[in-house]
Amino acid sequence: MAEKTDKHGKSRLRIYSEYFGFLLLYQLFKLLPLKAGYALSIRLVRMLFYIDHRHRRRTIAHILYAGAAGSESEARRIAKSSYDQFAKLLVEIVKMNQLYSRERILLTAPREVIDLVTPERNSGNRQSIVVTAHLGNWEVAGTAFAERSGTPMFSLMRPFDNPLVGRLILNHRQSDVHILIDKRLGIRPVLKALNEGRIATLLIDQHAAASEGVECIFFGHPARVHMTPALLHLKTGVPILPEITVRKPGDDFTFALRFSEPIRYESTGDKKTDIQRLTQRCITALEKLIREEPEQWLWTTRHWLDLDRRNAADYADWKPPQVCLEAYEEEMARNAPVFTVDWQGREVPELQPQSPANGAGQAAESGRA
């Protein structure tokens, strides 16, 4: 008799095996000091880096494909660092309840964003739609930004492949100021949360299903990107804020919420074009931010339609729609200086001002123009 599996195709034996293995590490990381936990986690994840040839090769190939490295040796270095950063994230998820402190959260952003989201500079509506990526510690971003802006937040989530592991992680992800909404419930609970004045946080850097996304340029190649932020902005007018959560040097649980300029858009009446243009602007803004911190981005996942997919050959001659090219160039041209403020809203003088990195201008033209 065949062993029963869950809806993800996993047997009960595999689910519990994964769970107890994770639980063992969970309890160990909880007991260890942060830096000792980092050291152990990095050692374990580096073992995977060397043993799992398929994902190691894929990660290096993705870095080269995106033009984030000029040679295979540089791509390998970035890949190894990306694995190390993910290893740190695993420890931070476990130790968030022990070590998280709002005083260790910096805000690095254009002046317009600082003026919009900080209570000491804006006593009115601070609501936004935050689009973010799997970079640095994206798990801490929800609580940190909700507390920093003084505005409650919600995030969309998909069910974990292992529900038991998911429960452990979700206990650290949500809080009084940060709730989670299952993406399978559709748009209604999302609009309800926005109508209640909550901030929305959406991870949009990974592949979207055909029903959930539109084709856009991402690092010069076709990708299907989640269109939910565009739909919400067109429906509500709430500004979109592209963001990444960067792990700062020092290994002391300090992070910077790094924002680019707000995205605001006036509808043309052509819904399809509006969604395409807005989604392209969102993913291009994130691409620019990722290029500033490539070693902290999760490169392993399959981001593109023309690479590592059964139907990749269908996109060999893909040409981006003109609306995507226009939106890409429009977003790439925006380069406002950014400033860093601490938890009290005081500027950090040694970090002022900063010009955002912009080495991606040629990406859309690399075989796609």
Sketch the domain layout of the chain as residue ranges.
Answer: 102-365
Instruction: State the pLDDT confidence band at 181, using cuts at 50, 70 and 90.
Output: confident
pLDDT of 50 over the 70 cut: yes
pLDDT at 355: 58
What is the DSSP code (8-state) at residue 189?
Answer: H
Cβ(245)–Cβ(97) under 8 Å?
Answer: no
Q: Tell me the per-residue pLDDT of 298-348, one tens digit each, with 9 for 90 and over.
A: 999 999 999 989 899 999 999 999 999 999 999 999 999 999 999 888 888
From the number of C-beta atoms within 10 Å of its C-beta (0-12, 13-18, 19+), residue 94 rates as buried
Model pLDDT, residue 80 = 98
Give the integer Cα–Cα distance in Å for 305 and 346: 44
Distance from C-alpha of 288 to C-alpha of 355, rounded to nearest angstrom: 12
Mean pLDDT of 53-75: 97
Structure tokens belonging to residue 104 = 């260790």
Report the alpha-carbon distance of residue 265 to residue 269 in Å, rounded.
12
Largest CA distance in the chain: 68
For residues 221 and 305, give the distance between their C-alpha atoms in angstroms, rounded to a whole number.
8
> What pLDDT shows up at residue 346?
87
Q: How confident is the model at residue 352 (pLDDT cuts 50, 70, 90)?
A: low
CA dist 240 and 230 (Å) reads: 9
- Count CB neighbours of 159 within 10 A: 12
CB neighbourhood size of 308 (10 A) = 14
Q: Which one is predicted more confidently, 246 or 150?
A: 246
What is the mean predicted confidence (pLDDT) over 233-261? 95
N-terminal to C-terminal alpha carbon distance within the chain: 56
Tell me the pLDDT band of 184, cut-offs 50, 70 and 90. Answer: confident
Place of tokens 């937040």: 153
pLDDT of residue 366: 45
Q: What percent of the chain has pLDDT over 90?
A: 65
Distance CA 281, CA 229 (A): 11
Percent of the chain with pLDDT over 70: 91
pLDDT at 351: 53
Q: Give the integer Cα–Cα distance in Å for 286 and 244.
A: 8
**pLDDT for position 166:** 73
Q: Compute the mean pLDDT over every residue in the chain, rounded to the nearest whole number.
A: 89
Distance CA 218, CA 328 (A): 9
| Kind and range of the H or E run holding 259 | strand 255-259
Give the SS3 label for residue 299. coil
| Predicted local confidence at residue 2, as pLDDT | 46
Query: pTM here?
Result: 0.89
Task: Give pLDDT tens digits for 98-148.
Answer: 999 999 999 999 999 999 998 888 888 899 999 999 999 998 888 889 988
